[in-house]
């Protein structure tokens, strides 16, 4: 991509597309640690060409697979190559049916608008990774964000990140914040370590149910299991229901329901969605047990490429920054937004002591830096707005590490607790 000729070239320079050389598309596993013992962090100002060269690696791998065949120049090249890497070899093998002679005469086809669409690969469904099993709230959020998509359950948040990086999925939808439980810190840390971009957000009202095997009564219960966030969101209601029983954390809400069902546990209930009850054959002992009827979880949508920021609708921008000379930078950074009347919707600090990170600069030079804290800020402006660009230019002067995690449309969906029942 020639960023200089792009209308948002100055904006795009804020996005980072680089990654260290150990990390390649097409590899079976992505390691988080660099060879030097530094955590890899995708820092401000790195070149987009790095990302593209990795795509070239992916392409060349497929080319080498079909070395003995002449490439059909009329094919949609990259898209078919990707399909082959993802295990859908039909498009590539079709090429082999075309006689070699006729291939030589076919001229390249002009690009059309649909070729420019980054994902899904033409004609196929968008594949969206989420953490959990079917019936999880994250699955409902993935469906809300991308209604006609194919959802891919992943056992850990990190796997959802990797699924997108390895082209197994086109997007990931992951929770970052709940109105009662607060931030889901793990995903903030993973946003820093991985190179994906936030391309959207979706708010899901979370309506919890207490689920048990058919004919089980509340009095039989000695244990309630669920995702730690779900347990926290229902803490007081469980006590009010007289359930002063053991509360145990598991990986996700629907997984808890599945566990009760498959192990035929008559002394254990799960906190999960009504949809999980239906999927795993459980009865709903109590409905709407979240302590706050306005319980909402905010999810972010992640992709390999950023969206081009616009000004014709409300946008939000997420950044992460740090300074290697202490934490006084926070006040200065906040003033850059306050001065321009830019509203902040989130500030999160994550301790980062004893974890040197490698910051990659414009020349792809990696330098180890020590930061005490990483600060995450979301603000209500688009990177296409001059005031946001100026604010970030100032922030860059105050900080030794700055990365734009994404500039994306805000979820403006109006909702009220009685009409929206996430996960149903
Ligand atoms: O366990 C699930 O169903 C999830 O989707 C995870 C999760 C979370 O991580 O916060 C999502 C929404 C709810 O707040 C509870 C749990």
**40 - beta bridge partners?**
358
The runs of H, that is alpha helices, within 243-371 are 253-262, 274-280, 329-338
What are the domain boundaries of the chain? 40-107, 209-289
Residue range 228-253, pLDDT digits in tens: 999 999 999 999 999 989 999 998 99
Q: State the Rg of the chain over Cα.
A: 24
420 three-class SS: coil
> Using CA positions, which residue lies closest to atom 1 of ligand 1?
252
pLDDT of residue 47: 34
d(CA 216, CA 291): 23
Six-digit token string for 101:
């002679």
Give 255 Cα–ligand 1 centroid separation in angstroms: 11
Give 32 Cα–ligand 1 centroid separation in angstroms: 24
Please answer whether residues 72 and 106 qualify as being in contact, where contact means their C-beta atoms are separated by less than 8 angstroms. Answer: yes
Q: Is the ipTM of this complex over 0.95?
A: no
Give 313 Cα–ligand 1 centroid separation in angstroms: 29
pLDDT of 142 strictly over 60: yes
The pTM of this model reads 0.73
Give 292 Cα–ligand 1 centroid separation in angstroms: 15
Residue range 294-328, pLDDT digits in tens: 999 999 999 999 999 999 999 999 999 988 876 67
Test site for ligand 1: of 131, 132, 137, most ligand atoms within 8 A of the Cβ: 137
pLDDT of residue 116: 56
* Beta strands per DSSP E along 186-267: 197-205, 209-212, 223-226, 246-249
Tell me the percentage of the chain whose pLDDT exceeds 70. 67
Residue range 253-300, pLDDT digits in tens: 999 999 999 999 999 999 999 999 999 999 999 999 999 999 999 999
209-289 folds as D-Maltodextrin-Binding Protein; domain 2 (3.40.190)
Q: Which residue has the higher pLDDT, 34 or 229?
A: 229
Test site for ligand 1: of 131, 225, 228, 253, most ligand atoms within 8 A of the Cβ: 253
Q: Per-residue confidence at 393, pLDDT binned at 50, 70, 90?
A: very high
297 noted as active-site residue:
yes
Question: Cis omega (within 30 of 0) on the bond before 58?
Answer: no
Q: Are strands 246-249 and 197-205 parallel, antiparallel or unpaired?
A: unpaired
CA separation (Å) from 275 to 136, 141, 266, 281?
8, 13, 20, 10
pLDDT of 60 strictly over 80: no
d(CA 313, CA 328): 34
Query: Which atom from ligand 1 is nearest to the alpha carbon of 230?
Result: 15
- Residue range 399-421: average pLDDT? 78
d(CA 352, CA 215): 49
Tell me the percentage of the chain whose pLDDT exceeds 90. 56
d(CA 33, CA 178): 29
Ligand 1 cavity residues, CB under 6 Å: 132, 136-138, 175, 178, 184, 206, 227, 229-230, 252-254, 297
3-state SS of 131-149? ECCCCCHHHHHHHHHCCCC
H or E segment at 405?
strand 401-409
Question: Exactly one of 38, 44, 161, 299 is catalytic; which is it?
Answer: 299
Query: Which atom from ligand 1 is nearest to the alpha carbon of 252?
Result: 1
pLDDT of residue 72: 35
Q: Are strands 127-131 and 171-178 parallel, antiparallel or unpaired?
A: parallel
pLDDT of residue 44: 39
Query: Which atom from ligand 1 is nearest to the alpha carbon of 226?
Result: 1
Query: Which atom from ligand 1 is nearest to the alpha carbon of 130?
Result: 5
d(CA 81, CA 91): 9
pLDDT of 159 strictly over 60: yes
Residues in the chain: 424
d(CA 95, CA 200): 37
> Using CA positions, which residue lies closest to atom 10 of ligand 1?
229
Q: Per-residue confidence at 117, pLDDT binned at 50, 70, 90?
A: low
Query: Which atom from ligand 1 is nearest to the alpha carbon of 135?
Result: 3
Test site for ligand 1: of 175, 179, 280, 420, most ligand atoms within 8 A of the Cβ: 175
pLDDT of residue 416: 54
pLDDT of residue 110: 75
Residue range 205-218, pLDDT digits in tens: 999 999 999 999 99
pLDDT of residue 105: 64
Mean pLDDT of the chain: 76
pLDDT of 32 strictly over 90: no
Q: Per-residue confidence at 339, pLDDT binned at 50, 70, 90?
A: very high
pLDDT of 369 strictly over 80: no
Question: Exactly one of 59, 237, 297, 317 is catalytic; which is it?
Answer: 297
């Amino acid at each position: 991509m020639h960023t200089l000729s792009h209308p948002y070239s100055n904006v795009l320079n804020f996005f980072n597309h680089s990654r260290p050389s150990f990390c390649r598309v097409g590899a079976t596993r992505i390691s988080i640690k660099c060879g030097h013992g530094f955590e890899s962090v995708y820092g401000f100002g790195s070149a987009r060409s790095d990302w593209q060269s990795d795509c070239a690696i992916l392409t060349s791998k497929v080319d080498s697979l079909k070395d003995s065949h002449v490439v059909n120049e009329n094919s949609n090249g990259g898209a078919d190559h990707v399909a082959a890497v993802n295990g859908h070899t039909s498009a590539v093998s079709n090429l082999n049916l075309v006689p070699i002679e006729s291939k030589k005469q076919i001229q390249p086809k002009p690009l059309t608008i649909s070729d420019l669409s980054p994902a899904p690969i033409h004609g196929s469904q968008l594949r969206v990774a989420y953490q959990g099993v079917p019936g999880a709230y994250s699955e409902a959020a993935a469906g809300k964000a991308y209604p006609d998509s194919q959802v891919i359950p992943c056992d850990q948040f990190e796997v959802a990140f990797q699924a997108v990086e390895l082209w197994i999925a086109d997007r990931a939808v992951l929770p970052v914040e709940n109105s009662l439980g607060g931030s889901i810190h793990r995903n903030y840390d993973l946003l820093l370590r991985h190179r994906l971009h936030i391309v959207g957000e979706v708010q899901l009202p979370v309506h919890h149910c207490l689920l048990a095997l058919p004919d089980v009564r509340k009095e039989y219960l000695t244990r309630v299991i669920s995702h730690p966030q779900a347990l926290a969101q229902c803490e007081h209601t469980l006590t009010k229901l007289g359930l002063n029983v053991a509360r145990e954390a598991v990986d996700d809400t629907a997984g808890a329901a599945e566990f009760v069902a498959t192990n035929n546990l008559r002394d254990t209930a799960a906190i999960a969605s009504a949809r999980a009850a239906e999927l795993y054959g459980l009865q709903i002992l109590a409905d709407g047990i979240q302590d706050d009827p306005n319980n909402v979880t905010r999810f972010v949508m992640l992709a390999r490429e950023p969206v081009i920021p616009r000004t014709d609708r409300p946008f939000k921008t997420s950044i992460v920054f740090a300074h290697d000379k202490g934490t006084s930078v926070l006040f200065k950074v906040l003033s850059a937004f306050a001065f321009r009347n830019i509203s902040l919707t989130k500030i999160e600090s994550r301790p980062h002591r004893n974890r040197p990170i490698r910051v990659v600069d414009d020349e792809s030079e990696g330098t180890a830096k020590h930061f005490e804290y990483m600060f995450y800020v979301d603000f209500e402006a688009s990177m296409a707005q001059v005031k946001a660009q100026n604010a970030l230019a100032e922030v860059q002067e105050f900080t030794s590490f700055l990365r734009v995690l994404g500039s994306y449309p805000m979820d403006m969906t109006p909702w009220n607790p009685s009409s929206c029942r996430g996960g149903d």
